[in-house]
């Protein structure tokens, strides 16, 4: 207990688990970004909604800022605590609270990992269909705070679509119970949707009631090799029209190179410029339709090679080529862009971006992948081993400013699914107008009048 301010918190909540050990401060003070030095005041691990409310009330009195904390797998610095904040980790609030088979909803505490939510749904004969590689580590509260997307958005939408209700302890310490699982409710402003993607700036999400879907159909996975970017949109249109797509992901040769170097099985004897991993409902008719679509694409010159999974093991192997990318490049401390445009704007935006990056990054290894069917592109720029982190980031920021300009021209977003956090704060105005940001600033003041909820994230006061 180094800081005297904590004495008041301990007195208020003698049962609260509180960490101040330097290793804990470092562990809980950062997310998957590695740009800021963690320096929280302490880490609180509440076990109940009442404790969370008491923490916020104490923080208001003590003037201590709060960083809400889930699995800290974020890529935008939204969960970084580098300025003496109290980290409020939800990791002990990780229980399934209820299931309703008629409403088809699952109610969980916010610290529940995504994978635990998926498993709980599956055990009840249903599915929670939002999915991405960090499923084992990320928490549902963090998913909601960033409106997490992932690899199934093309079919099931983002996290937002599956939140039937949530409980938020706002910056005033008030518990807001919004949505409450109602299908229809036209009684004023939707504070549930307002909370989704608010990145901890309006309060701490403590509980969520999630809609569940029918279990997904049996699927097949297909890997396709493509000659160029133009082919990508053609293949997407063709497959979307003929198959029930559950996923449609692309990656470049550089992405495949790193995944294979990291231990994955190379799918083809040769290498190609682009690859698509797509998953679709399986069955005799569907396989025939897939084969026909494949042959059509080959005939048009849009696809130059391909493989279709013959077993679950092979499907998993093909998925690993896409899902293993982030891990395979992690050691290069990549600089990440996560941008989106309307699907119709994708071809023009891709052409412009490809030219921009080729011109500006001749010296860097640039790995592209993403959710092309959602208009969402991930760009990972790998840091050369012999380059200092600061100089590398500065160079990437220069290019991101150019990219933000392109996004503005194409009506796109600087953050498709990672959130703004600290990383993209300087570029928010490329996506949201000054009038919009002024409205967001005002709304934040309403729910967090003292400016203590995740300050410095998303936008400045």
Contact 90, 72 (CB under 8 A): no
192-231: contacts with a copy of itself (CB under 8 A): 193-194, 196-199
Query: Which residue in the set 41, 79, 153, 379 belongs to the binding site for a copy of itself (CB under 8 A)?
Result: 153
Query: Which residue in the set 97, 388, 391, 439 belongs to the binding site for a copy of itself (CB under 8 A)?
Result: 439
Binding mask 101-130 toward a copy of itself (x if CB under 8 A, else -) reads -xx---------------------------
Phi first, then psi: what are they for 120, rounded to 5°? -60, -40
230-259: contacts with a copy of itself (CB under 8 A): 237
404-433: contacts with a copy of itself (CB under 8 A): 411-420, 424, 428, 431-433
Stretch that binds a copy of itself, among 19-27, 271-279, 287-295, 374-382 (CB under 8 A): 374-382
Residue 15 token pair: 């049962």
Neighbour tally for 235: CB within 10 Å: 25
Rounded CA separation 274/369 (Å): 9
Select 333 or 345, whichever has its Cβ closest to a copy of itself: 345
Stretch that binds a copy of itself, among 54-62, 245-253, 271-279, 436-444 (CB under 8 A): 436-444
**Shortest spacing between CB 221 and a copy of itself, in angstroms:** 22
Select 77 or 267, whichever has its Cβ closest to a copy of itself: 77
257-316: contacts with a copy of itself (CB under 8 A): none
Select 38 or 405, whichever has its Cβ closest to a copy of itself: 405
**Shortest spacing between CB 251 and a copy of itself, in angstroms:** 18
CA 206 and chain centroid, separation: 19
Task: Tell whether residue 400 is a contact of a copy of itself (CB under 8 A).
Answer: no
Stretch that binds a copy of itself, among 118-126, 143-151, 303-311, 318-326 (CB under 8 A): 143-151
Query: Which residue in the set 340, 380, 400, 454 belongs to the binding site for a copy of itself (CB under 8 A)?
Result: 340
Q: Count of residues binding a copy of itself (CB under 8 A)? A: 72
Query: Which residue in the set 68, 149, 200, 306 belongs to the binding site for a copy of itself (CB under 8 A)?
Result: 149
Do β-strands 203-211 and 105-109 pair in parallel, antiparallel, or remain unpaired? Answer: antiparallel
Contacts of 180 (CB under 8 A, 6+ apart): 164, 165, 209
Select 196 or 366, whichever has its Cβ closest to a copy of itself: 196
* CA angle in degrees (0–180, nearest 5) for 314-319-324: 125
**Shortest spacing between CB 151 and a copy of itself, in angstroms:** 12
Contact 189, 255 (CB under 8 A): no
75-104: contacts with a copy of itself (CB under 8 A): 100, 102-103
168-197: contacts with a copy of itself (CB under 8 A): 170, 172, 174-178, 180-191, 193-194, 196-197
Residue 372 token pair: 């092309």
Rounded CA separation 309/176 (Å): 47
DSSP code per residue over 121-183? HHHTT-B---B-GGGGT-BHHHHHHHT--BTTHHHH--GGGGEEEEEEEETTS-EEEE-TT-S
Task: Tell whether residue 376 is a contact of a copy of itself (CB under 8 A).
Answer: yes
Contact 152, 131 (CB under 8 A): yes
First to last CA, the chain: 31
Do β-strands 86-89 and 42-45 pair in parallel, antiparallel, or remain unpaired? Answer: parallel
Select 202 or 224, whichever has its Cβ closest to a copy of itself: 202
What is the arrangement of strands in the sheet containing 105-109, beginning at the earlier edge strand? Answer: 96-100, 105-109, 203-211, 163-170, 175-178
**Shortest spacing between CB 449 and a copy of itself, in angstroms:** 9
């Amino acid at each position: 207990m180094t800081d005297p301010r904590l004495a008041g918190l301990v007195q208020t909540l003698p049962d609260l688990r509180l960490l101040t050990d330097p290793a804990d401060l470092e562990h809980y003070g950062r997310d998957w970004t590695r740009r800021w030095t963690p320096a929280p005041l302490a880490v609180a691990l509440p076990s109940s909604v009442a404790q969370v409310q008491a923490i916020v009330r104490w923080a208001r009195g003590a003037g201590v800022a709060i960083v809400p904390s889930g699995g800290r797998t974020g890529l935008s610095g939204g969960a970084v605590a580098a300025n003496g904040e109290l980290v409020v980790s939800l990791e002990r609030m990780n229980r399934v609270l209820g299931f309703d088979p008629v409403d088809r909803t699952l109610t969980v505490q916010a610290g529940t990992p995504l994978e635990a939510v998926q498993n709980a749904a599956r055990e009840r004969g249903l599915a929670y269909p939002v999915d991405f590689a960090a499923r084992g580590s990320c928490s549902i509260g963090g998913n909601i705070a960033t409106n997490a997307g992932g690899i199934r958005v093309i079919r099931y939408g983002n996290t937002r679509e599956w939140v039937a209700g949530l409980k938020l302890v706002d910056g005033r310490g008030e518990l807001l119970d919004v949505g409450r699982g109602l299908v229809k409710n036209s009684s004023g402003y939707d504070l549930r949707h307002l909370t989704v993607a608010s990145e901890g700036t309006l309060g701490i999400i403590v509980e969520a009631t999630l809609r569940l879907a029918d279990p997904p159909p049996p699927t097949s996975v297909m890997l396709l090799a493509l000659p160029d970017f133009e082919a990508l949109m053609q293949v997407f249109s063709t497959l979307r029209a003929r198959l029930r797509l559950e996923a449609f992901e692309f990656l470049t040769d550089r992405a495949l190179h790193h995944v294979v170097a990291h231990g994955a099985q190379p799918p083809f004897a040769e290498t190609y410029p682009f690859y698509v991993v797509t998953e679709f409902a399986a069955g005799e008719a569907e396989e025939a339709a897939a084969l026909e679509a494949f042959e059509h694409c080959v005939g048009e010159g849009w696809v130059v090679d391909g493989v279709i999974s013959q077993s679950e093991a092979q499907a998993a192997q093909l998925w690993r080529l896409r899902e293993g990318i982030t891990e395979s490049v992690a050691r290069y401390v990549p600089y990440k862009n996560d941008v989106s445009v309307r699907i119709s704007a994708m071809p023009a935006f891709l052409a412009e971006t490809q030219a921009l990056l080729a011109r500006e990054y001749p010296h860097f290894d640039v790995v592209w992948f993403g959710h092309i069917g959602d208009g969402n592109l991930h760009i990972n720029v790998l840091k050369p081993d012999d380059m200092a982190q600061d100089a590398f980031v500065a160079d990437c920021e220069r290019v991101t400013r150019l990219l933000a300009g392109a996004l503005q021209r194409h009506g796109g977003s600087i953050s498709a699914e990672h959130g703004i956090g600290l990383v993209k704060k300087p570029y928010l105005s490329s996506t949201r107008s000054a009038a919009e940001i002024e409205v967001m600033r005002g709304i934040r003041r309403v729910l967090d009048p003292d400016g203590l909820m995740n300050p410095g994230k998303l936008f400045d006061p």
